[in-house]
Amino acid sequence: REHLAELSHFVSTALTEIGVVHWLEGGSLLGAVREGGSLLDWEDDVDISVLLDADMTWKRLASGLAERGATQGYYVDLFENKGLVAISFDAPKPWPFRWQHNRMRGEIRADITVYRQVIHNGIAVLERRSHKGAMPATENGGYGVPPELVLPTTTIPHIGGDFASPNQPEAYLRILYGDFEDVEYTYVDPAAAATRREADVAQKDVKK
């Protein structure tokens, strides 16, 4: 777990140095909010999102992360068509297994998901390409959240540091999970879901 915390701090620092707007996402944000800045017991990845625009392009983000990853000994794998950067301690496997390897549960990695501001039904939203929790679909074929829930970003204590966070983290989590105090486990692998559920329940019991 110390490696996961180390990776979290590396990614946060790298994104800050690059100058891209970013925030904790998914399980990482859930740990920061619900668990008082601790990692979820079943967590095996870092979830962080970034906002790209005309100035902060994919090329600028990718080159900045690749340069810092090479310096610090991390592997940076780029999936532009999916709007995702995966950073890990282990070298990515060659095609055709590269994408599947990065999505497997178990290896320690950071998933950096790209958002862009678009217009959906005449209203501005921050949109991503991949599905996340119960995030609503957009007319463009992506999934989005209201910008005011995210921007301007704030900070939240997490694993010994201050991490960028959505402006309204609780409201953001409710879009993803509904009642985020009782997260539904909807993983493809039922065994993985059961293991994570047991670990999360045990963690809650300890805190009571």
Preceding peptide of 96 cis, ω within 30°: yes
> How many domains does the chain contain in total?
1
- Averaged over 96-101, what is the pLDDT? 49
Residues counted in the chain:
208
**In the prediction, which pLDDT does 104 show?**
47
The more confidently predicted of residues 105 and 142 is 142
Residue 205, pLDDT score: 61
Q: Kindly state the average pLDDT of the residues 14-33.
A: 96
List the one residue out of 40, 10, 24 whose CA is nearest residue 153.
24
Which contacts (CB < 8 Å, 24+ apart) does range 73-82 have? 74/7, 74/10, 77/102, 82/129, 82/130
Q: How far apart are CA 26 and CA 48, in angstroms?
A: 8
Q: Quick check: helix, strand or coil at residue 175?
A: helix
Neighbours of 167 (CB within 10 A): 15
Average pLDDT in the 163-191 region?
79
Q: What's the whole-number average pLDDT of the chain?
A: 85
Q: Can you give the pLDDT at residue 94?
A: 60
Distance (Å, rounded) from C-alpha 157 to C-alpha 148? 21
Residue 125 pairs in a beta bridge with 118
The reported pTM is 0.83
How far from 75 is each of 39, 84, 92, 155, CA to CA, in Å? 22, 14, 7, 27
More confident residue, 44 or 140: 140
Q: What is the pLDDT of residue 108?
A: 80
Q: Work out the number of other CB atoms within 10 angstroms of the CB of residue 74.
A: 21
pLDDT level of residue 69 (50, 70, 90 thresholds): very high
Contact 48, 11 (CB under 8 A): yes
Tell me how far apart the alpha carbons of residues 32 and 154 are, in angstroms, rounded to a whole number: 13
Q: Which domain holds residue 196?
A: 2-207
Report pLDDT for 208.
53
Coil, strand, or helix at residue 178? coil
> What confidence score (pLDDT) does residue 206 get?
56
In CATH, what number is assigned to the domain containing residue 129?
Answer: 3.30.460
